Structure 1
Amino acid sequence: MAPVILFPAIDLKEGRCVRLIQGDMAQATVFNDDPAEQAIAFEDMGFTDLHVVDLDGAFAGKPMNSAAVERILAASTMRTQLGGGIRDMATVSGWLDKGIARVIIGTAAVRNPAFVREAAKAYPGRIAVGLDARDGLVAVEGWAEVSTVTAEAIAKRFEDAGVAAIIYTNIARDGMLKGIDWEGTLALARAISIPVIASGGLASIADIERMTRPDAALLEGAIAGRALYDHRLDPHEALALLKRAA
């Protein structure tokens, strides 16, 4: 069995690597002025996959940190997935042509499901859907607006579309170091056939140990952000634990 993937996260705001509290752009902590340097550091720790979000792009509806993303791609050999401001086919194809392994469609998956289907058909295995939920309902536009639809309902729309993964974030836990919402994440994973990636709140080695339990084999992986930047999670210990459990 392949190990569950641990994705370190780089969130981009104004060209810098930051972390937010519950998606609040006003509560941004800068962890590195050079995102490419941060990507190299993660690769040196042993990570093989990277999760990047263009935060400004998520609000603007178009890429806003392209130069920083391109520097990350030039500096690192990790498989990199990218979300934030990806709302049309030109943006999808542009990023995939530049070396992004997988693009994440968020707001547009709620507003324009046909776009997700078109992209997944054109690029099999390279389109993921990002579903960020507040009190069970999916939030859009960089989490600034909450829809009236549940994450499960939206995910089920794409069961037959060829979507590679659903990245599920519990906004209430994001950046809070309270632990992943295992109940909600695994419930979603059981309800759909698309692989799910857990996001938001990963706090410590306890979350990594939870990832090694049999029921978590449903998941493709989980995303780690603040716990890595705050040194609450030892990357070498975490990766070794996941490798042993595979």
Structure 2
Amino acid sequence: MIIFPAIDLKDGKAVRLTKGLMDSAKIYSDEPWQLAKNFENMGAKWLHIVDLNGAFAGEPKNIEAIKKIRENTNLKIQLGGGIRDEDTIKRYLDLGINRLILGSIAAREPKKVIKLSKKYPIAVGIDAKDGYVAVDGWDKSEGIKATKLAEIYKDSEIECIIATDISKDGTLQGLNIDFILDIMKASQKNVIASGGVAGEEDIKKVKENKIYGVIIGKAFYEGKIDLEKVLKEIK
């Protein structure tokens, strides 16, 4: 199991949202690269970054903050938010990003994403509300069931799926494990659990269910989880 500490970027700062609502943003750091360095010092191997402005705009918006994180850590980085074309993928790979997360385009143009996954390290982000896929920074519903979308990627070369229950995200109410397991079953892919981690009990559930990874955001920022301890325990 891999633990992915999360940094969500808004206007160059590290923030956390509640249920994906931009006006709920709470700032945790003006220097996200220092947070990333801190995660590395704690023993993290991977970092999960979301360009929130990019997710809404459909194009990269926090490049400078991302560059600074890359330049100051040796962490492997998976990055999402506003990545909609091959040029953006190449641009981020040139910066040293290890894996790109495609969300909105993965829901709208799965054939294109399946093709891209043959050439690049791609993760598909499936963000769902009431079981249906949401796109464009979770602003719109695509009217497709999350499990149906997961099934489309069953025989593709994507590296993994990041599954988020939006209704849980940033709420500290606990992961929706059933949703994660449904996505695993439908896709037959490695799945990273995201949305609502409340504490160590969630990490335990992820491990027990042999889920590939888990993203930890607000639970760390609000002091609900001892990240250093958890990272040591999974080694």
Report which stretch shifted further, 171-180 or 191-200: 191-200
Aligned residue in 2 for 1:14: 11
1:88-138 CA-to-partner distances (Å, cap 9, x unmatched) read: 000011111211110000000111112212210112xx1000010000000
* Structure 1, unpaired ranges of 5+: none
Q: Which residue of 1 aligns with 2:159?
A: 164
The letter of the residue matching 1:220 is Y
On the 8 A contact 1:134/1:171 being kept in 2, the answer is yes
What is the rounded CA distance, in whole Å, between the counterparts of 1:187 and 1:161 in structure 2? 18
Query: Residue 65 of structure 1: which of 56, 62, 66 is its match?
Result: 62
Contact 2:152 2:187 in 1 (8 A): no
Aligned counterpart, 1:151: 146
Q: CA RMSD in A?
A: 0.9
Show CA shifts across 1:140-161 (max 9, x none): 0000001110111111112222
Runs of 4+ in 1 over 3 A off after TM superposition: none
Q: Deviations over 1:24-67 (max 9, x none)?
A: 00000000001111100111111110000000000000000011
Alpha-carbon separation, structure 2, partners of 1:128 and 1:191: 16
State the AA in 2 paired with 1:78: L
Task: Specify the code of the residue in structure 2 equivalent to 1:119.
Answer: L
**CA offsets per residue over residues 221-240 of structure 1, 9 Å max, x none?**
00000010111100122123
The one-letter code of the counterpart of 1:10 is I
- SS of aligned partner of 2:212: strand
Aligned to 1:239: 231
Distance 2:151 2:184 in 1: 11
In the alignment, does 2:200 pair up with 1:211?
no
**Residue type at the aligned position of 2:41:** D
Unaligned runs of 5+ in 2: none
Alpha-carbon deviation of 1:241?
2.7
How many residues are paired up? 235
Equivalent residue for 2:91?
94
When normalised by structure 1's length, the TM-score is 0.93
User: Is the CA contact (8 Å cut-off) linking 2:153 and 2:187 kept in structure 1?
Assistant: no
What SS does the aligned partner of 2:234 have?
Answer: helix
- The percentage of counterpart residues that share the same residue type is 43
Contact 1:23 1:142 in 2 (8 A): yes
Tell me, yes or no, if the aligned pair for 2:127 and 2:135 is still in contact at 8 Å. Answer: yes
Query: Which of 50, 55, 78 is residue 53 of structure 1 equivalent to?
Result: 50
1:174 and 2:202 equivalent?
no
